[in-house]
């Protein structure tokens, strides 16, 4: 059962807590203070659920509201913001909508005033703040003061590890995309002083230390929708694979070590690739290591997989067959470079999930100028649509980590010179994915190159938010050695300045916080 179906009261708790008056000598009119919320072990579990729920909701009071200011509520979901930043700036996706900030991402001409990037930056900091609040209230001293002891205290210590992991994940997002953000922990008193800025290399050390600290404290046996040792190991492998980008020092051996820990864990490939992106992908799924859980009835918002499914189709594509009979917004499609990566295998590689006849992106404002991605569908494996409030909202969970990432991280790190792995094992791992994709060994390869791995990552993870990070690591995101339609704002594509390998800090935050120095080039 999904975490958000169990803890539906969590958002209400946090929404009421955030409504307190600024005068700390006054008691909120609803009488729901921290001492009340955290008075029982059940209260802690409910607030932990809010820490998770902040990844899948825009507010504690429905899809029409947002915890963030200055951005439309419908566009303020974490995955919608993250997806736009990672995919629209890459060779995988384009958006035809002329909404504020969209074409700047399509063209890679984004500025420090881009509303989508500001929203993502703010959403990540908000989720860090939610985790920090839980950590402040769950110390040994706080538990003792509330007479919470024994097994209950032990359980809450486990919850703390989960909250620290979720915070570390969001700091990884900020480090990867924005480089040098402000840093807030449970030690900071909110609103007293402006947070300090942390350099990217120092943030790498912080995220690494947090993940290493919580990894042995997290649950060994995965529980769907909650952070486990496998999630920490997977994020550590990802962190180390990109260490040369973040710090200037490669850590490929460490990337192999933690990828191997994931591979040795309780994870297995789903037999059918397409089943990973359906409404029952929370059932009998040993491949997804951690997902953001969505439910068309309980966690409604216009982001997440609701956005990905509806924006990928229009009325001509029969939205009912995608489980959203009243949906179909016609907004996002593939760059022509994405389906081209499949080459002659488009008829045999089961990961090739596209619709349409025109791959070329001649007119960036035309939805049918590009193949549509049909990877995510709000139907189950039997083809039955999931329940969907208003026929629009999705119950498809979005995977943050899947087992194939461990296979491909291992292979890439071996090819880049990491020790502790072998090319033979790397080849075996890649062919496991290709055998699943082809249904047999007809697509297996006998050798590997780094280019092979980059292409395999695109075919395995397209539209899952990996691509910008991968292109940056390969040195192909900004320069002219690799271009795609509309990169740099021209149809044929062109190079952009290398400073765009990281996004700018939002102007509003730089102005408000004198501790911040803007990233170079903005």
Please, is 88 exposed, middle or buried when counting C-beta atoms within 10 Å of its C-beta (0-12, 13-18, 19+)? buried
H runs (alpha helix) in 179-269: 200-214, 229-241, 243-247, 252-263
| Distance, CA of 238 to CA of 259 (rounded, Å) | 8
**pLDDT recorded at residue 63:** 63
179: left (phi over 0), alpha (psi -120 to 50) or beta: left
DSSP type of residue 67 = S
3-state secondary structure of 322: helix
**What are the distances in angstroms from CA 428 to CA 150, 163, 258, 411, 458?**
46, 35, 18, 9, 19
pTM for the whole structure = 0.94
Asked if residue 56 lies in contact with residue 294, where contact means CB atoms within 8 angstroms, the answer is yes
DSSP string of 23-52? Answer: -TTSPPTT---HHHHTSSHHHHHHHHHHHH
At how many degrees (to 10) do helices 150-178 and 115-136 cross? 160
* 55, two tokens: 């990844």
Please, is 402 exposed, middle or buried when counting C-beta atoms within 10 Å of its C-beta (0-12, 13-18, 19+)? buried
* 319, two tokens: 């939205």
Q: Tell the residue number behind the tokens 């949906």, with chain if given.
A: 327
At how many degrees (to 10) do helices 403-415 and 423-438 cross? 140
At how many degrees (to 10) do helices 403-415 and 252-263 cross? 150
**pLDDT recorded at residue 5:** 39
**What are the distances in angstroms from CA 344 to CA 167, 280, 371?**
43, 31, 16
**pLDDT recorded at residue 16:** 36
**pLDDT recorded at residue 33:** 63
| Distance, CA of 162 to CA of 59 (rounded, Å) | 21
3-state secondary structure of 270: coil
| Distance, CA of 156 to CA of 192 (rounded, Å) | 28
Q: Average pLDDT for consecutive 10-residue bins of the chain (522 residues)?
A: 40 36 31 77 94 88 73 88 98 97 98 97 96 96 97 97 98 98 89 88 98 97 92 99 98 98 97 98 97 90 96 97 97 98 96 98 98 98 92 96 99 98 98 98 98 98 98 98 98 98 97 97 96
**pLDDT recorded at residue 191:** 66
For residue 150, the surrounding DSSP H or E stretch is: helix 150-178
CA nearest to 232, candidates 262, 268, 255, 257: 262
H runs (alpha helix) in 392-497: 403-415, 423-438, 450-461, 467-473
**pLDDT recorded at residue 20:** 29
């Amino acid at each position: 059962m999904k975490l958000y179906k169990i803890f539906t009261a969590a958002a209400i708790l946090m929404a009421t807590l955030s409504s307190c008056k600024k005068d700390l000598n006054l008691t909120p009119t609803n009488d729901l203070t921290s001492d009340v919320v955290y008075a029982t072990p059940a209260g802690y579990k409910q607030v932990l659920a809010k820490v998770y729920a902040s990844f899948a909701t825009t507010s504690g009071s429905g899809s029409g509201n947002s915890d963030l200011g200055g951005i439309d509520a419908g566009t303020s979901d974490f995955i919608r913001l993250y997806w736009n930043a990672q995919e629209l700036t890459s060779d995988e996706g384009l958006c035809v909508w002329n909404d504020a900030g969209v074409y700047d991402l399509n063209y890679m001409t984004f500025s420090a005033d881009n509303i989508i990037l500001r929203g993502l930056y703010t959403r990540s900091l908000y989720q860090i703040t939610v985790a920090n609040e839980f950590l402040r209230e769950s110390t040994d001293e706080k538990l003792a003061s509330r007479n919470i002891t024994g097994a209950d205290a032990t359980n809450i210590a486990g919850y703390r590890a989960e909250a620290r992991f979720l915070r570390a994940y969001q700091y990884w997002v900020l480090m990867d995309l924005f480089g040098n953000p402000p840093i807030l922990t449970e030690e900071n008193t909110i609103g007293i002083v402006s947070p300090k800025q942390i350099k990217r290399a120092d943030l790498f050390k912080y995220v690494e230390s947090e993940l290493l600290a919580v990894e042995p404290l997290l649950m060994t046996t995965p529980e769907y929708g909650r952070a486990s040792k496998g999630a920490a190991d997977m994020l550590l492998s990802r962190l180390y694979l990109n260490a040369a980008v973040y710090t200037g020092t490669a850590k490929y051996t460490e990337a192999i070590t933690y990828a191997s820990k994931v591979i040795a864990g309780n994870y297995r490939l789903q037999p059918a690739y397409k089943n990973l992106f359906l409404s029952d992908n929370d059932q009998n799924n040993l491949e997804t290591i951690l997902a953001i859980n969505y439910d068309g009835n309980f966690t409604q918002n216009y982001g997440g997989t609701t956005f990905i499914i509806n924006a990928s189709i229009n009325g001509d594509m029969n939205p009912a067959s995608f489980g959203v009979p009243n949906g179909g917004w016609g907004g996002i499609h593939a760059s022509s470079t994405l389906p081209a990566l499949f080459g002659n295998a488009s008829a045999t590689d089961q990961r090739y999930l596209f619709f349409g006849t025109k791959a070329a992106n001649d007119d960036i404002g035309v939805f049918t100028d590009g193949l549509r991605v049909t990877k995510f569908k709000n139907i189950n494996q039997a083809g039955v649509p999931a329940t969907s409030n208003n026929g629009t909202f999705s119950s498809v969970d979005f995977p943050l980590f899947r087992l194939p990432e461990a296979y491909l991280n291992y292979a890439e790190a071996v090819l880049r010179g990491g020790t502790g792995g072998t090319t033979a094992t790397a080849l075996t791992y890649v062919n496991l994915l290709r055998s699943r994709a082809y249904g047999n060994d007809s697509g297996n390869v006998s050798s590997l190159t780094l280019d092979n791995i980059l292409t395999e990552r695109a075919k395995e993870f397209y539209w899952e938010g990996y691509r910008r990070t991968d292109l940056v690591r390969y040195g192909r995101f900004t320069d002219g050695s690799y271009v795609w339609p509309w990169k740099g704002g021209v149809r044929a594509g062109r190079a952009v300045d290398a400073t765009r390998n990281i996004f700018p800090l939002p102007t509003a935050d730089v102005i408000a916080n004198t501790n911040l120095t803007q990233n170079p080039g903005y």
